[in-house]
Structure 1
Amino acid sequence: MEVSCAFPTALDSPDNIVLAERLGYARAWVYDTPQQSPDVWMTLALAAERTERIGLGPGVLVPSLRHPMVNAAATATLAALAPGRVAVSFGTGFTGRRAMGYRAITWSYMESYIRAYRGLLRGEVVEWEGAQMQMLHPDGHAPARPVDVPVLVGALGPKGHEVARELGDGLYVTLQLPEFMSEYSWVPYLAWGTVLDEGEASDSDHARVAGGPGWALAYHGAYEFGGPDAVRTLPGGEEWMGVVEKAPLEQRHLAVHTGHCVHLNEADRAAWDAGGHAMLQDVTISGTRDRVRRRLDELASHGVTELVFQPCGPDPGAELEKFLEAATS
């Protein structure tokens, strides 16, 4: 199983990707979350110019955020800057849409979008929104078509599985391990966590800042996919909902997604302090080096071919180094 990394796109992401390459990570995925991040393509271009080996790509692009021609042109640009190192993953928009108050896009839209996007990269004339178009880039403006870049699809259910199987080169997953995962030869799994010292408590300051943002996804995901009642079944869930429900109904998504994958927001801190931290090792890949290694072995046995680790906290370099050491020991 390869070990890669991911970053919620930030101004220092190119620096962290340079470090990840030096440490030996296989690939760096960067999030498409414009409500809290700088542009994903600008960030990847900067990383491409400063690296030589590490794979690069957006993980995941949210189709509704850009016209397919825009993403095709950006993909071609990155492929020119980092030949043979680019892969692209698409998703329906957990944070990239829900943090702005939208629901996820439909799988029918995803299918149409990926067909148009892949057709553009092949140099074909495609139809989008009732108009016919083609990449017309002259020499020096983009690589010659076809631009061959692997495309992965983030899917957990049957509709996504159908799109991924027909149009994708792999399956990009997180939070769950779908049964159909075994049908794919390339399966990156996005995960969070931290390596704890022997005897270190799950509610230590280090565990909170380095493992907490990934742990908080249990509450964010429960709220978005199951509603308030699902959150209240979790340790500290009542306290979490108590903070979120102070916001006006039409703005609660802001209270939920503030700090998403970066730091604990007010609701997350309330749940952590109320005992929710007890779930840390259950919902993230956190624990001693041996425990982390066992979790990775379990994921590989279920069909994960690439573990994608997102470091959190004030020292992502140290988290990258400790995690890779545990993963490869």
Structure 2
Amino acid sequence: MRLGIQLGYSGEGFAEAVDEVAEFEEAGADLVVVPEAYSFDAVSQLGYLAARTRRMGLASGVMQLYTRTPTLTAMTAAGLDYVSGGRFSLGLGASGPQVIEGFHGVRYDAPVARTREIVEICRRVWRRETLVFEGSHYRIPLPGEYGKPLKLINHPVRERIPVLLAAMGPRNVALAAEIADGWQALWLDPRASARVFADALADGLARRSPDLGPLDVSVPVPFVLAAPEPALLQRHRAQLALYLGGMGARGRNFSNDLVRRYGYADEATRIQELYLSGRRAEAVAAVPDDLVAATSLVGHRDEIRRRLDALAAAGVTTLLASPLAPTRAERVKHIAELRAILP
């Protein structure tokens, strides 16, 4: 199992966080993942990280597919792969209508079909094909007297940059299993994953090209080598409440839909109602303890090892840890210890 570091949304302390990432690299971390959402963009931070790291892979977690043209997405990925010496993986995701329409002013439609077309366009650009694409959602070049088929000027470091698709719903998960190098899962509960995702994964894998190789499955988890005290997991509990309650509208919240499929339908309804009515502290308190524990990695060494075995049995091949220890020295030490016990 690979060990990655999941950064939080950017803000104060980025330079210090990057110094820490460099120490995580020395401690054995294989990868660092940078989110985007409606924070600072991931690309500028990944470029900075490329200059401050030597060996570890870099990935977006995730770039939103609606906010850049397909060819700009391909160019950006090729550029990050270039400045990092071939260490970048393109994490893509549809986000949701709240962010795409509310913050970017772009219509959120046909996420599965658009994802398929964007991935195909990116791969053609990286192969330096003269780009002509006739899709249902993207047409390159546009018809008219001025549009001319072009190919990327530069020769990419790699003509096949790994593509990682963030997915929660059955159709998106099936698409990731079919066309992507990796699936970026979120809130993965290994106790329920087989029941919830098995059909979608089987459907996608049945159509997967052998050239893609095995599907990498990555999952972010808050992590600490310590007894699971409530205070340690409070931030994770609050983030679950935000995503289940506030990241979307009633009837259109992908995280809420996912935990319903896990078996928390009543709890998901209550969290959303509390959060959207402004009772956020109550929403946080309403997040089930079992869900908090299942989607985190907290405990002493034997418990961590048992939980890692459960994640591996659920198909996870890349663990994205968010270290929770209070001091930098402890966080680096815990990552080194986690590296030593990974399956």
For normalisation by structure 1, the TM-score amounts to 0.75
Paired residue type of 1:160: N
Query: Separation in 2 of the partners of 1:162 and 1:239?
Result: 28
Residues 57 and 243 from structure 1, CA distance in 2 versus in 1: closer, same or farther, beyond 3 angstroms?
closer
Share of identical aligned residues, percent? 21
**Counterpart in the other structure of 1:281:** 293
Q: Point out where structure 2 has 5 or more consecutive residues left out of the alignment.
A: 142-148, 206-212
Residue 29 of structure 1: how far off its partner (Å): 1.3
Q: Does 1:244 align with 2:276?
A: yes
| 1:87 aligned counterpart, secondary structure | strand
* Cα deviation digits, residues 257-294 of structure 1 (max 9, x gap): xxxxxxxxx72x33344675564313322333322221
Query: Separation in 2 of the partners of 1:291 and 1:103?
Result: 42
Residue 51 of structure 1: how far off its partner (Å): 0.9
Query: Separation in 1 of the partners of 2:99 and 2:55?
Result: 28
**Counterpart in the other structure of 1:252:** none
Which residue, 21, 27, 32 being the options, matches 1:28?
A: 32
Contact 2:4–2:29 (8 Å) recurs in 1: yes
Higher alpha-carbon deviation: 106-115 or 83-92: 83-92
**Counterpart in the other structure of 1:117:** 122
Paired residue type of 2:273: M
Contact 2:176–2:183 (8 Å) recurs in 1: yes
Aligned residue pairs total 297
Paired residue type of 2:10: A
* Cα deviation digits, residues 13-67 of structure 1 (max 9, x gap): 533432321221111111122x2x2221111011001111000111222210111
Query: Separation in 1 of the partners of 2:318 and 2:287?
Result: 32
Q: Point out where structure 1 has 5 or more consecutive residues left out of the alignment.
A: 247-265
What is the RMSD of the two structures over their aligned residues, measured on CA atoms? 3.5
Which residue, 200, 214, 221 being the options, matches 1:185?
A: 214
Residue 6 of structure 1: how far off its partner (Å): 1.5
Residues 98 and 215 from structure 1, CA distance in 2 versus in 1: closer, same or farther, beyond 3 angstroms?
farther
Query: Separation in 2 of the partners of 1:30 and 1:115?
Result: 23
Query: Pairwise mapping of residues 1-12 of structure 1 onto structure 2 (< 5 A)?
Result: 1-11=1-11, 12=14
Which residue, 312, 322, 325 being the options, matches 1:310?
A: 322
Residue 90 of structure 1: how far off its partner (Å): 1.8
* Cα deviation digits, residues 165-208 of structure 1 (max 9, x gap): 4432233222243225585723232222232534x53x22x332
**Counterpart in the other structure of 2:70:** 68
Residues 273 and 190 from structure 1, CA distance in 2 versus in 1: closer, same or farther, beyond 3 angstroms?
same
Query: Separation in 1 of the partners of 2:272 and 2:338?
Result: 32
Query: Pairwise mapping of residues 152-167 of structure 1 onto structure 2 (< 5 A)?
Result: 152-167=164-179
Higher alpha-carbon deviation: 165-174 or 114-123: 165-174
Residue 111 of structure 1: how far off its partner (Å): 0.9
Paired residue type of 1:207: L
Contact 2:128–2:155 (8 Å) recurs in 1: no
Query: Pairwise mapping of residues 1-329 of structure 1 onto structure 2 (< 5 A)?
Result: 1-11=1-11, 12=14, 13-33=17-37, 35=38, 37-94=39-96, 97=100, 100=103, 105-124=110-129, 125-127=131-133, 129-132=138-141, 133-137=149-153, 142-144=154-156, 147-176=159-188, 177=193, 178-179=197-198, 181=201, 183=205, 185-195=214-224, 197-198=226-227, 201=229, 203-204=230-231, 206-209=232-235, 211-216=236-241, 219-220=244-245, 224-225=253-254, 226=256, 233-234=266-267, 238=270, 241-246=273-278, 267=280, 269-273=281-285, 276=288, 279-311=291-323, 318-319=330-331, 321-326=333-338, 328-329=340-341
Residues 79 and 17 from structure 1, CA distance in 2 versus in 1: closer, same or farther, beyond 3 angstroms?
same
Residues 283 and 151 from structure 1, CA distance in 2 versus in 1: closer, same or farther, beyond 3 angstroms?
closer
Residues 327 and 93 from structure 1, CA distance in 2 versus in 1: closer, same or farther, beyond 3 angstroms?
same
Residues 110 and 315 from structure 1, CA distance in 2 versus in 1: closer, same or farther, beyond 3 angstroms?
farther
Query: Separation in 2 of the partners of 1:169 and 1:274?
Result: 36
| 2:298 aligned counterpart, secondary structure | coil
Query: Separation in 2 of the partners of 1:303 and 1:239?
Result: 29
